[in-house]
Each structure stands twice: as structure tokens, then as C-alpha cells.
Amino acid sequence: MISSAQSVQSVCILGSTGSIGVNTLDVLARHPERYRVVALAAHRQVDALVAQCLQWRPRWAVLADAALAQTAQQQLRAAGLATEVLCGPEALVQVAQAPEVDTVMGAIVGAAGLAPCMAAARAGKRLLLANKEALVVGGARFMRAVREGGGTLLPIDSEHSAIFQCLPQDATTWSGVIDHIVLTASGGPFRQRDPASLKDITPDQACAHPNWVMGRKISVDSATMMNKALEVIEARWLFDLAPEQIRVLIHPQSIVHSMVVCRDASVLAQMGSPDMRVPIAYGLSFPERIASGAPALDLLGCGALTFEAPLRERFPGLFLAWDALNAPQGTTAVLNAANEVAVAAFLDGQLRFTDIHRVNAATLELPLWSRELSGPDEASDGVDDLLAVDALARAEAQRLVAQYRA
Ligand SMILES: NC(=O)C1=CN([C@@H]2O[C@H](COP(=O)(O)OP(=O)(O)OC[C@H]3O[C@@H](n4cnc5c(N)ncnc54)[C@H](OP(=O)(O)O)[C@@H]3O)[C@@H](O)[C@H]2O)C=CC1
Ligand SMILES: CC(=O)[C@@H](O)[C@H](O)COP(=O)(O)O
Ligand SMILES: [Mn+2]
């Protein structure tokens, strides 16, 4: 129940047609008295975005280019809607920082979400961050934008929401509380498969996650455990931890979403059925809690909860996280860019599953990075130099994809 003094939150969803976007709208639909949708942004799925606009009647909708926006605008006008359809990356920034918006859900996949998420942070919004790649690329500069903007950054990634839920609300006390954290990982669809048999894996096999229904990019990342590598980097920034304070355990049931091991050896864990509506609802309502629509965990029916150490021979990509965190600033952006290129090539049938790691590791090794990264300008508030590093790494990764494809 909201108090009469509480105003309705105006929400902008970047990536509204994806898995997180749709789950967010599902939670919002349960609480019409608390939330209204002001902006919805997709990339190329015009029909899905138009259908969402017809239901939610936002002030703005955003698509990738002018032709798509015109198609959507015509359909919405014909239906009598006043929604204005904008296009391109600048429009994402515009809606993310608009004064009419209180809360931004960052649910774009990949580094494409960096600029609008940073804009939302700088504008002091309540920023719900699912788009882990934005933080992996933005790093310290992203966190500074959050601090200087004076808004609130709430993690949506299930592991990071779990850690956040285990910690005291006053973030200034976290370093005194945490000895280390344990991020849990499902191990993905190939946890028990002979690594030698992975080279002919198809995209559909890689996307068949055992516990979560997600977009295709993150599903492939779960299969290589690069998802967990990105999450290690994400945790480093969200909770201001040293790389060695972040550990990973495989937990095939995805019920313990992560743990904080405190300085006094107490272990705090957050549990629940694997349903992203739980962290989304918590981000929307923090510090209160609202109904999410997720089923309660059946402790008697869920079976044994087990934990395993991740092996380097099976999941070499995971270990790149610590390598990148211990390298010069900006190396995590290189790793992310290489992985985005490699996963896209794999999904497109251009690269073998096992070559995703080869591309990522080889891109990281190129000596060029230490020169190019010697100085992303720490005084800068922008994203242009970060995106320049991203572009350079993509070009190198594309070259490697072409080499391995041959
Ligand atoms: N799915 C999940 O359960 C979880 C996801 N995450 C993270 O959340 C983010 C979103 O994941 P998920 O929802 O699975 O991804 P999806 O692929 O399902 O959705 C991605 C969304 O982003 C839009 N989009 C894609 N590319 C661009 C671009 N270049 N510019 C603007 N918009 C773009 C898509 O639009 P269109 O539909 O038009 O292509 C779509 O709305 C990722 O960073 C992922 O790692 C984190 C934890 C769990
Ligand atoms: C739901 C969520 O947060 C995903 O990031 C999930 O954790 C993926 O599963 P893996 O643990 O297999 O990477
Ligand atoms: Mn996760």
C-alpha cells in the first residue's frame, strides 16, 4: 500500500521489448496506482513496441532509425495516440534524462546502453541497472556519474540485487561489513558436458538455459560463463570491492542468488525462485517491497542446494574477469567489446562456440591496449573516449573472427 503522500513514479524503459523490459512491464501492470510509463525504447521490433504503446500510452517511444520511427508513428496516430516517436542513440539519451522521468530501467543489451544509462545517472534518476555491459565499460566513471548526479543506482542483475538485499541500506558501512562476496552461477547448459564436445554447439543449444528465460546474448554468455565474468566486474564497481573480494561458485539450482560473507564469518544469502520480476520489483519499490508476481520458493519441493567450484578447463572465460580488472583502466571495455562481437558472430553462424573464448582472450592480449588505454581522461564526464576504445576493440575482434572463420 502506498501512502497518500507518495507520488506516482514516472518510468522510462530502455529495452522495453526484451526479456527484462517485458518483465518490468509485467510488474508495473500489477501496480497502476504507483507507476506510469512515460517512455518506451526498443531497437528494431516495431510491432512489439507499437503494441506496448497502445497498452501504456507513453509520451515518447524510441526506435533505432527514422524509417522505423515513421512506421510506428503512423500506426500510433491512426490509433489516436499522442505518443511521439523519436529515433537514434541521441533520443535514448533525451528520454533517459528528461525531467518528466523519475525512474529509468536500463535494459538495453550491450555497450549501446552506456550513453543513456550514464545520462540517467548524471540527471539524478533512480536508475535500475540490468544492462551490466554499461557498467563494465563505464567503470569508475559510471559510478562517479551516479554520485555526482545524486540519484540512486539499484542493481537488477539477480546476483547483484541479492548482494544489495543482504547489505545494510547505508552504503558507507559496506566496507566494514564485507569480507568477500560469492556470486552464484548456474553453470549453464554445458556444465557437465565434455569440453572436447563443445566445438559443434549450435546457437539454439547454447541459448537453452537450464533455469532462466533470457535474451540470446546473455544466454550465450551464461553458457561460456562470460556472463559471470561480466558480473564479477559489475560487482567490483557496484560494491567498491577489490577483485580478490569477489568469488564465484556454481550453484546449478539458481535458488541462492548470491551471498555476502561478513567480516565476522556470518554468511548472508538471498534466495528465491529464479524469476527476474523479484529483483525488478525490488528496484522499483526500494526500500519498500511490492508484489512481483513471482511464485514463492517451495523449500520442501526444490530439492538439494549444491555448490561446485568452477574449473578453468571448462570455463576459461570466467577467469578473464580478474585479468581485466587487474590490467589498466579500460581493459574491461576491451573484454566486453570482444565478447559482444564474438557472441554476435556465433549467433550468426560465423564462429564456433569454442572460438568465442579464443577471440576474447586474443583481443585482450594485443599490446595496443596499454597505449590506447593509458589515459581515458578521468576528469571527463563523457563516454566518447570509452566508446573509442570499444570501437577499436571491436575492430580487432572482427579481424580475429574472420581469421578463425577461415
Ligand atoms: N534477461 C534476463 O533475465 C537478464 C538480463 N540481464 C541484462 O539485461 C540486459 C537486457 O537483457 P535481455 O532483456 O535478456 O535482452 P533482450 O535481447 O531480450 O532485449 C534487449 C532489448 O534491448 C533493445 N536493444 C538491442 N540492441 C539495442 C541497441 N543497439 N540500441 C537500443 N536498444 C537496443 C532490444 O530492442 P529490440 O527488441 O527492438 O531488438 C530489446 O528491447 C542485458 O545487459 C543483460 O545482460 C541481466 C540479468 C538477467
Ligand atoms: C538472471 C540473471 O541474473 C542472469 O545473469 C543469470 O544469472 C544467468 O545465469 P548464469 O548464472 O548461468 O549466468
Ligand atoms: Mn545475473
Give the closest ligand to the alpha carbon of residue 186. Answer: 2
- Per mean pLDDT, which range of 203-212, 256-265, 367-376 is the poorest? 367-376
Concatenated DSSP letters for 18-45?
A: SHHHHHHHHHHHT-TTTEEEEEEE-SS-
Give the closest ligand to the alpha carbon of residue 209. Answer: 2
Grid cell digits, residue 338: 570482444
pLDDT score recorded for residue 329: 82
pLDDT score recorded for residue 380: 73
Tens digits of residue pLDDT in 80-117: 999 999 999 999 999 999 999 999 999 999 999 999 99
Query: Up-side HSE of residue 28: CA atoms within 13 Å toward CB?
Result: 24
304 Cα to the center of ligand 1, angstroms: 32
Tens digits of residue pLDDT in 197-225: 999 999 999 999 999 999 999 999 999 99
- Per mean pLDDT, which range of 14-18, 87-91, 193-197, 241-245 is the poorest? 193-197
In whole angstroms, give the CA distance from residue 406 to residue 395. Answer: 17
Given ligand 1 and candidates 20, 136, 234, 277, which is best to mutate, with the most ligand atoms within 8 Å of its CB?
Answer: 20
What does the pLDDT average to over 294-303? 96
ipTM reported for the complex, 2 dp: 0.99
Closest CA to 13 of 46, 55, 78, 60: 60
pLDDT score recorded for residue 5: 52
108 Cα to the center of ligand 1, angstroms: 4
Spell out the residues 6+ positions from residue 136 whose beta carbon is closer than 8 angstroms to its own.
230, 233, 234, 332, 333, 335, 336
Beta carbons of 220 and 207 less than 8 angstroms apart? yes
The answer on pLDDT for 1 being more than 50 is no
Grid cell digits, residue 213: 528465460
- The share of the chain scoring above pLDDT 90, in percent, equals 92
- Around ligand 1, the residues with Cβ closer than 6 Å are 15-21, 42-45, 107-109, 112, 130-133, 157, 212, 214-215, 217-218, 276
Categorize the per-residue pLDDT at 378 as very low, low, confident or very high, splitting at 50, 70 and 90.
Answer: low
H-run or E-run covering 60: strand 60-63
83 Cα to the center of ligand 3, angstroms: 33
